Structure 1
Amino acid sequence: MKSSENKTAILSKESDYLKEIYQVWSNRMTANPNMTIEDLRSLFDEWEKPTFEPEDVTYKTDQVGGVDCLWAYPVGCDKTKVLIYTHGGGFAVGSAASHRKLAGHMAKALGVSAVVLDYRRAPENPFPAQLEDAAAVYQALLASGIKAKDIGTIGDSAGGNLAVASVLKFRELGLELPGYVIAFSPWLDMELTGSTLESNADTDVFITVPLLQGMIGMFIGDDSTKVRDPLANPLHADFNGFPPLYINAGGAEVLLDDARRLHARAVDAGVQATLSVVDGMQHVFPFLAGRAPEANEEIQRIAAWYRAL
């Protein structure tokens, strides 16, 4: 299936914004290695800063299936079609508020509504609480009359893991599977075996192995068997019968190999899978939506992929 590594000779000046905010975060975490989870959550709620406010999108606070959520409704969108957005942040930080603008851009590009989950976060609620919340939302949408084929799961980083793993959970529950899955810079490998963890360590200004190790500890605790559980580490999953899958990543990020391996495993299982890698870009570069051409062009590629399904 399709794979593209888009080589960009010169990155836009606007794309520097994400790199700069990641560098500030890294500096702050290095200066305060004992930062509390509350402080980390405050820091990561700044993730909305790179994203310009999408025009003609309204928002609504709600509960779906007992889970706190935030709806994004582009003007004129088809509300019978829904993106379930699971935010990134190592399963422990990030929120619907930090990701609502990105979800709004995606919903607008696809002409659908989006529901951004404030799922239960680690360490207070370790694995599999996040998947249980995603399943509750999915089941509630189905019960409301939304068709499975008109639902897509989408997420970034750890939320990209959840966008993939939630579909595996739906299958485990015997539910009809959604129509498609979109994963931005998915963090999948709880064993941390990806080759780009080392080869891209000098170009990724944000994600480090120690940071990932800390997040793993909060997500799955000390049970070493869980690092290979397909619902925690989808690189060990069976992808037969999986919905069409779009994966993207930045060429500069340490988690690039996770995206490549997910694509390879999906293709091997016969899944309609697309991988888009944009050279030189950082982790979850679509956060630059509305600001930088690299993000805007990627969102349009995803929209074209969606329309062709």
Structure 2
Amino acid sequence: MKGALRNPAIQPAIVGGTWYPKLFQPGDEQKTVILHFHGGSFLWGTGRQSDYGIPASTVLKRIPATALFVQYRLASDPACTFPAAVQDAVTAYKHLLDMNIPASNIVISGDSAGGNVAIALLRYLSTANSNSLPSPSAALLWSPSVDLDSQCDPHNIDLHRNNKTDYITGFTLVWGVNAYIPKSVESTDPYFSPL
């Protein structure tokens, strides 16, 4: 890993993933593949059927594709703060390329915290990557977390007009942000707050 993803204390690791609607098969290389990163405030959630089966099937009803939902490392483990999740995103993207899936057939996707991971992957591919990995064809971002700096006041978040319908409270967002961003890094860094 290069640039912001290089960290002697946090190294790339093998992580799992769940394929939807079925396991990718050799010969399917010309189909669109969605590489998705789930939400969960960087603390919880998986891409498994129990957590994301319904959203996956809903998206795939509208987009003819196969999807890989990545089980990226979560900041609920103190050893897995940034850049662990983004390292996992790069590893998953490389895995698809190693399966001979052309980058032009890959769509990067993420919701909430996973949207932040997806944007960080795209940032890495366009800056620190030195063109060693090709860019994907597109990105689908579902309510991505794009400003982790201003999200750090739970009282302001809970005063927002959407507070009554938000799935995650302001205090939960702050907990996730504080767990994910190492103390040595500013929350205004473009890897966390791309706006």
TM-score, structure 2 normalization: 0.76
What corresponds to 1:90 in structure 2? 41
Q: Which runs of 5+ in 1 are unaligned?
A: 1-64, 236-309
Matching residue's letter, 1:149: S
Q: Which runs of 5+ in 2 are unaligned?
A: 1-12
Q: Residues of 2 paired with 1:140 and 1:130: CA distance?
A: 15
Q: Residues of 1 paired with 2:39 and 2:22: CA distance?
A: 22
Larger relative helix fraction: 1
What corresponds to 1:166 in structure 2? 121
What corresponds to 1:130 in structure 2? 85
> Of residues 175, 181, 190 in structure 2, which corresponds to 1:220?
181
Pairing 1:79–2:28 present: yes
1:247-272, Cα deviation, whole Å (9 max, x unpaired): xxxxxxxxxxxxxxxxxxxxxxxxxx
Q: Residues of 2 paired with 1:202 and 1:73: CA distance?
A: 34
Larger relative strand fraction: 1
Contact 1:83 1:107 survives alignment (8 Å): no
Contact 2:19 2:66 survives alignment (8 Å): yes
CA change 1:213–1:83 in 2 (3 A) is same
Within a 5 Å distance, the mapping from 1:1-309 to structure 2 comes to 66-73=14-21, 79-80=28-29, 81-97=32-48, 98-124=51-77, 125-171=80-126, 172-173=128-129, 174=131, 175-192=133-150, 197=157, 198-223=159-184, 225-235=185-195
CA RMSD, 1 decimal: 2.5
Task: Return the offset for 1:166.
Answer: 1.1
CA change 1:193–1:92 in 2 (3 A) is closer
Moved more, 147-156 or 92-101: 92-101
- SS of equivalent to 1:152: strand
Task: Return the offset for 1:193.
Answer: 5.7
1:114-173, Cα deviation, whole Å (9 max, x unpaired): 001011111321111111011011112112211111100111110111122211122221
How many aligned positions are there?
Answer: 168
Hey, which bits of structure 1, 4+ residues long, moved more than 4 A? none
Instruction: Select the structure of larger CA radius of gyration.
Output: 1
